Amino acid sequence: MLKQEAIDLLAKHRNGAISVTTMQAAAPWHLAGQTSSLHCEASLCMGSAASLGLGIALGAPKHKVMILDGDGSLLMQLGSLVTVAGQKAANYYHFVFANGYYESSGNQRLPGTGVFDFPALAKAAGYAGAFSFERAADLNTELPAIFKRTGPIFVELKIARDDATPRWALVPMAQMVRKLKSELAP
Amino acid sequence: MITSGPVAISIAGHVIADAIVELGVTHVISVPDTNLRTVLALLEARPVPQVMYVCTEDEAMGINAGLYMTGHKPMLLIQNNGLYACLNTLKAIPLDAEVPTFMLIGQFARDVNQRPEESPKRAVNRLEPTLTTWGVPFVRIEGPADVPKIREAWDVAWTTNGPSAAIVGAPTH
């Protein structure tokens, strides 16, 4: 599927969840109108979306928290899978856009592309469930059930290579931090 | 210059643990430090704060930020080498994103008879220059008389919305 198709479906099924984005998921999520509330971005700290989202999930257990991560980003802090699973955050939904490329730096190949298996890694780390989707139609069908499951849940989104110029969100992270804190803990 | 006698004096773990509790800390996020192991053991035995072990100091800073945004009062407990391991995240989250991030840092591998700047070990002698380079305020906790400085450093993090550090110079007992 295309990244934009996945973004549109995640937005469609968000249903009030807090969102955390990073790297090349950030701008499309912003352009989809999903960042005006209950949102934060892990800006310029590749790999930190999972842990940022975990802190939010643990601190706000009544909210569902969806993390929009990238494959290269997650590889940079892969141990986060173990930390997330160890905390057993029931409200944690980890979506990873996976096409095997470092999009932000010009589509260089990731190490181990075609060899490693993200859902298997997540399951082995202790996630309560792990899924992979290649077709938008399947993702659209399954997302409501996925959000009803007890987390932490891992969802690999197999997307096509994107040769568009990398885009960056325009809102400084400090501004997003202040906004989300004002919404969750004024 | 080699000084005579210890420069850093061991502090009882419960003294530092009590100081942390008095700050109102809700979560201690840690990649463990050898020198502060007695503090961690004592904190683990208490219901609050919650001690949370993580894989990397990068993760600790991310979780700290998430807990902060949801109204909690977390802190980090790490060692000198851990600070070096997470400099990009230090730049991005505590500094650029303006998140209060108080770090209790153990001076792992320090000879307590030497001042940190006299140590031949880079793990020890580069800690304060690294914090200074990144504009992170810090205090030295060189003995029991310095324990009140932990609150000073904590307050700096929460009044500036940024990072601060208290460096514990000797292994606790």
Q: Report if residue A186 sits inside a domain.
A: no
Inside any domain, residue B120: yes
**Does residue B1 lie in a domain region?**
no
Number of domains in chain A: 1
Beta-strand pair B27-30/B74-79: parallel
- CA dist A119 and A135 (Å) reads 16
Q: Does ipTM exceed 0.90?
A: yes
Residue B126 distance to chain A (closest CA, Å): 23
Chain B partners within 8 Å of A46 (Cβ): 88
- Locate A35 and state its tokens: 């960042």
Q: What is the mean pLDDT of residues B150-155?
A: 98
Residue A5's pLDDT band (cuts 50, 70, 90)? very high
State mean pLDDT over A78-91: 98
Number of domains in chain B: 1
Give the domain range for residue A9: 3-163+170-181
Residue B2 reports pLDDT greater than 70 = no
Mean pLDDT of chain B: 96
**A8-27 per-position pLDDT tens digit:** 999 999 999 999 999 888 88
CA distance B5 to chain A (A): 42
**Around Cβ A108, how many Cβ atoms within 10 Å?**
11
Q: Token pair of B94, please?
A: 């505590």
What's the CATH number where B140 sits?
3.40.50.970
Residues of B in contact with A53 (CB under 8 A): 66
pLDDT of residue A165: 80
pLDDT, residue B4, reads: 66
Residue closest to B85 by CA, chosen among B136, B35, B31: B31
Question: Is 0.95 topped by the overall pTM?
Answer: yes
| Percent with pLDDT over 70 in chain B | 98
First to last CA, chain B: 28
B5 domain-assigned: no
What residues in chain B have their Cβ under 8 A from chain A's Cβ atoms?
Answer: 52, 54-56, 58-72, 74, 88-89, 91-93, 96-99
Q: What is the model's pLDDT at position B14?
A: 98
Instruction: Provide DSSP, chain B.
Output: -PPSS-SS----HHHHHHHHHHTT--EEEE---GGGHHHHHHHHTSSSSEEEE-S-HHHHHHHHHHHHHTT--EEEEEEHHHHHHTHHHHIIIIIITT--EEEEEE-TT--TTS-GGG-S-HHHHTHHHHHHHTT--EEEE-SGGGTHHHHHHHHHHHHHTSEEEEEE-S---
Pick the closest to residue B126 from B154, B75, B167 (CA basis).
Answer: B167
Whether B1 has a pLDDT exceeding 70, the answer reads: no
Please report which confidence band the pLDDT of residue A34 belongs to, taking 50, 70 and 90 as the band edges: very high
pLDDT at B158 over 60: yes
For an interface test with A, give the residue of B25, B28, B59, B91 to mutate (most A CBs within 10 A): B59
- Name which of B55, B68, B71 is nearest A79 (Cβ-Cβ): B55
Tell me: pLDDT of A139 over 90.
yes
Residues of A in contact with B54 (CB under 8 A): 51, 83
The pLDDT assigned to A170 comes to 76
Report the SS3 class of residue A110. coil
Residue A168, pLDDT above cutoff 80: no
Q: Per the domain annotation, does A94 fall within a domain?
A: yes
The CATH number assigned to the domain holding A70 equals: 3.40.50.970
**If you measure CA to CA, which chain A residue comes closest to B31?**
A83
Q: Tell me what the mean pLDDT of segment B4-16 comes to.
A: 93
Q: Is residue B2 part of a domain?
A: no
pLDDT in tens, A94-115: 999 999 999 888 889 999 998 9
Least trusted range by pLDDT, from A167-171, B18-22, B48-52? A167-171
Domain that holds residue B42: 13-168
> Does any domain span residue B23?
yes
